[in-house]
Structure 1
């Protein structure tokens, strides 16, 4: 058996082993949590885990036992996966390129405006069904619940390094002119502001329906997608190497089944 067949089998055995914890996490999410956030995540996790398991199994059997048809299916799926990974990585960098927080004088946090982000991302949070689900997740996560204890005074709050979601969802925009009572209770200003978020804020629901909250969520998405895109670049290189080895294993298996069999490829 050629070296490429051994390597294909070993690499796919490792990915098969890695797929099992992924499936286990999805099953755990399904049984242990019942919030809308986690219900939304559990099936994609399980599907990804099962997909990796089946593709790796095809590559393992095809590489170790020289089953040409399984290797062909494996290489075809791997090619599609590499192509999709490349497209997603480029797409992630493009849609997350615009948008950034705006520094405020004398404040430790930044504020975020929805219109600063790409149109594609804006449409994701403008959809009421999507936003209701996201808002439910934010409330379940209690992103604002600890702010009163952490920052009991106005000075402490002004110097706080709030996350984008806390800055956008837990307080009114600074332009509204609200007066600090505590981190989640603010007195109405005497003058009105042109910012529509100012009329949306209230001390019970906070700013979870504000555009600033949507912008804070998009900033978090941008940061997370940039991290994922960086990991995808590493995965892309890894998959290209595995695909190249798999092609050698496929040629070895096909050569064995021809009347002019010679030495296997590496």
Structure 2
């Protein structure tokens, strides 16, 4: 095995390792409770990671055993996968760039408006909201929140940093002026006409604010937050894969040149 093939095999092994954060990001997204209900692009991320692993493995085998055809196929397929990964990153950044959250005076948590999120995300969730709403209400996202947070006073609750889903679905909007009883029970709104969600709120634990626009917005806030975290792993993987691919192309060309030169010399022997 020549020096160029050694280098190609080494960097293909690095590429193989790059598939781990991509697969890990997909699995992490799939493990999130809101993604259980939305299932937004989690399988494409996992599948993309598995394909990167398989193609890198093929490149490693081709370099180690000097299979030029396999190496050429590796370079072609890896180029396509890098393009797909970059397209996924651009799409994810585009649809998660707008932030629909806003601060609430006197509260540690933020609240969410649908109008602040990307049009694509809003339409995607709106089209599937009946199924998503049923999934959320049958989950324990709010019930568990109420059981595990034994706040004794309203002040303790107001000083808690809620997740977007908890803020949007498990309590009424602050502007309605509901009186705090516990995290998922509120009474006597002082301003019931301030927002359409004020009349939708229910102390029925199967209803709460699952039909509210704020719940849809909170779900989008959760998705945005999670995808922003997953993007960090995907960016690192993309940068390393591009670096590995460039070095792999250079090593492949060197190997081709060495093979051509060897054949040229043999022609004169």
Give the shorter-chain TM-score range.
Answer: 0.7 to 0.9
Secondary structure, in 3 states, of the residue corresponding to 1:180? strand
Aligned to 1:218: 220
Q: How many residues align?
A: 256
Pairing 1:99–2:94 present = no
Aligned to 2:245: 243
Comparing 108-117 with 203-212, greater Cα deviation is found at: 203-212
**CA contact under 8 A between 2:18 and 2:240: conserved in structure 1?**
no
Aligned to 2:150: 150
1:66-102: CA deviation from partner (whole Å, max 9, x where unpaired): 2122111111111112222222222322222222421
**Cα-Cα RMSD:** 3.6
Secondary structure, in 3 states, of the residue corresponding to 1:146? helix
Q: State the TM-score, normalizing by the size of structure 2.
A: 0.78
Q: 1:124: Cα distance to partner?
A: 1.7
Q: 1:192: Cα distance to partner?
A: 3.4
1:78-117 matches, cutoff 5 A: 78-117=78-117
Q: 1:126: Cα distance to partner?
A: 0.6
**CA contact under 8 A between 1:4 and 1:245: conserved in structure 2?**
no
Unaligned runs of at least 5 residues, structure 1: 28-35
Q: 1:242: Cα distance to partner?
A: 1.0
Q: 1:114: Cα distance to partner?
A: 0.7
Secondary structure, in 3 states, of the residue corresponding to 2:260? coil
1:140-187: CA deviation from partner (whole Å, max 9, x where unpaired): 353442335432322211222111111111101112222222211112
Aligned to 2:256: 254
**CA contact under 8 A between 1:144 and 1:166: conserved in structure 2?**
no
- CA gap of 1:262–1:94, structure 2 versus 1, over 3 A, is farther
Aligned to 1:132: 131
